[in-house]
Structure 1
Amino acid sequence: MNAFLLGPFLIKIDWLFLFISALIAALIIKTNTKNNLSFQNEVFNVMINIVIIFVLIYKFSSLLFSPEIIFGNFKTILYVTGGKSGAILGFVCGLFIWHGKYPRVN
């Protein structure tokens, strides 16, 4: 199993590496755009919006792909994730948002 326990939480190594790489990417963007603060703020706002939308779509895509799980007990939505199809749908929606709102350098 590629996970470890941190208190009561079971953390997957893949998610930890993803989080660390996102932090490193954010630091690189921050250092490379330190002279243009308005551009930096726009980039980070778009990135945060994309992450939030990805997580929401990933989490609630089980309503779209397998609604029969939810009909029995609605609390199951707290325990069920979207799986690969939900991750792909969230990624595609994030790309659409990024394509439409990514700030341009003047």
Structure 2
Amino acid sequence: MDALKLGPLIIKYNVLFALGAGIAVYAILKRVTAKDQVFQKQFFDVLINSVLLFIIFYKGSILVFHPDLLQVHLLGALSLNGGVKEGLAGLAAGGMYFFYQYKKKRWLQKDAGRAILYAAVTYITAYWFLQTLFFLVV
């Protein structure tokens, strides 16, 4: 089933891996951006808002791409996982917001590029590591 059942909650392993990778990204970025506290605070605010926008658009756009679910069961539709189209919609929304804030706040390209690169590499590596370790142990 690839899910952890905790009472009435069913949590997919992928969500746990993503959460663990997100915590790793947070720890690494705290270290990498420690020199400039103003940039660090702004960057984390924008990054968290971008991730929340991604989640909202990922979960909400399933109703746009599959409007027939509105007639069947609205809350059931929100519990479904989206596909590639929904993921791309969420990525576009979060990415546009992040780019807009990057331009608005006039971050240095060196600082922002370094933080984005560290975040991407850390997330991918930590997600892969957690997934591999979990399936080797279990």
Q: TM-score, normalised by structure 1?
A: 0.83
The answer as to whether partners of 1:60 and 1:81 remain within 8 angstroms in 2 is no
Separation of aligned partners in 2, 1:64 and 1:20: 30
In structure 2, how many angstroms separate the alpha carbons of the residues matched to 1:18 and 1:74?
26
Match of residue 30 from structure 2: 30
SS of corresponding position for 1:82: coil
Q: Which residue in the other structure is 2:115 paired with?
A: none
Structure-2 separation of matches of 1:55 and 1:48 = 11
What residue ranges of structure 1 are gaps of 5+ in the alignment?
A: none
Q: CA deviation at 1:73?
A: 4.2
1:5-24 matches, within 5 Å, as 5-24=5-24
Correspondences of 1:69-84 after superposition (within 5 Å) = 69-84=69-84
Q: Distance in 2 between matches of 1:13 and 1:77?
A: 20
How far apart are 1:87 and its partner, in Å? 1.4
Ranked by relative contact order (alpha carbons within 8 Å, sequence separation 6 or more), the top structure is 2
Question: Identity of paired residues, percent?
Answer: 30
Q: Between Structure 1 and Structure 2, which shows a larger proportion of helix residues? A: 2
1:37-78 CA-to-partner distances (Å, cap 9, x unmatched) read 110111111111111111111111122101111034444444
Alignment RMSD: 2.0
CA distance in 2, matches of 1:89, 1:59: 10
CA contact 1:70–1:76 (8 Å) conserved in 2:
no
Aligned to 2:4: 4
Task: Specify every segment of 5 or more residues in structure 2 that has no aligned partner in the other structure, as ranges.
Answer: 112-138
AA paired with 2:93?
C
